[in-house]
Amino acid sequence: MEVLLVLAAAFCAGVLNTIAGGGTFLTFPALVFVGVPPVVANATSAVAVFPGYLGGALGFRTELQRFDRPQMLKLLAVTLAGGLIGSLLLLVSSNQFFSIVVPFLLFAATLAFLFGDRIRAWAAARSRAVTPFGSLGLLAVSIYGGYFNGGLGIVLLALFALWGMVNIHEMNGLKNGLSFALSAISVAVFALGGLVEWHHALGMMVASTIGGYAGAPLARMLPKPVVRGLIALVGFSMSAVFFWRLVP
């Protein structure tokens, strides 16, 4: 039953990530529910959804090719540095500390997802005050992504809007490309640090990939408000569960 639960969570996470994002809201709690320690569950969850980012990046390769090569190399370098810092922070985090932090991260990520359009609109309206393709904002977001992957995509999209980007396809392409690079360095750090439950991770990688493929037709069929409502419900429910776990 535990194996079926984590595989089902990974499959549904793949579907959600293809449709709109939020897969971590399922994979991380599922792993904790079956008894995986929070820090290890977070690392294993990041490994489980990792293949989907590669597929997304390849799907947007035309949009990625529009960026200048020196510019892309700079963005990749900053992303890798931030992802490395965040991943190393997770390595030294205790399960007790992470258990305290994670409900707040889940709640914040759910709010970011739910109000993503408003966040991007707010950011776009203030784009003139921010240097396009600036390093500091990307570094901060990458550190967050290396430490806790939940809601990373929506935060990246908001950052791109703040930079003044308006082409959603280019934004999604850049989001997937940078997310893949960040996840690659995170997976390497977590694997070397012994944080990955591989007997769960390998099966979840396959399930999330299949779910990502299956999610494509659903993405075209389901109304956006329905998808956002479902993910918000999952996110807030999981946040409540982890807040409840903090109660003595």
Residues 153 and 51: beta-carbon distance below 8 Å: no
pTM of the model: 0.80
Which amino acid, one-letter code, is at 3?
A: V
**What mean pLDDT is predicted for residues 73-81?**
94
> Is residue 149 scored above 90 in pLDDT?
no
What is residue 248's predicted lDDT score, i.e. its pLDDT?
65
Interatomic CA distance for residues 161 and 69, integer angstroms: 21
The domain spans of the chain are 2-246
What is residue 188's predicted lDDT score, i.e. its pLDDT?
94
Q: Label residues 84-100 b or e (16+ Cβ within 10 Å = b).
A: bbbbbebeebeeeebbe
What is residue 124's predicted lDDT score, i.e. its pLDDT?
63
Q: For a pLDDT cut of 70, what percent of the chain falls above it?
A: 88
Question: Nearest to residue 34, comparing CAs of 197, 214, 158, 175?
Answer: 197
* pLDDT tens for each residue of 164-220: 777 777 887 888 889 889 989 999 999 999 999 999 999 999 998 888 777 766 666
Alpha carbon distances (Å) from 50 to 92, 96, 124, 209:
22, 26, 29, 9
Q: For a pLDDT cut of 90, what percent of the chain falls above it?
A: 30
Contacts of 200 (CB under 8 A, 6+ apart): 6, 31, 34, 36, 44, 48
**What mean pLDDT is predicted for residues 119-145?**
75
What are the phi and psi torsion angles at 194 (to 5°)?
Answer: 70, 30
**Residue matched to tokens 């992957």:** 149
Q: 221 pLDDT band (50/70/90 cuts)?
A: confident
Interatomic CA distance for residues 144 and 200, integer angstroms: 24
What is residue 21's predicted lDDT score, i.e. its pLDDT?
67
How high is the mean pLDDT of the chain? 83
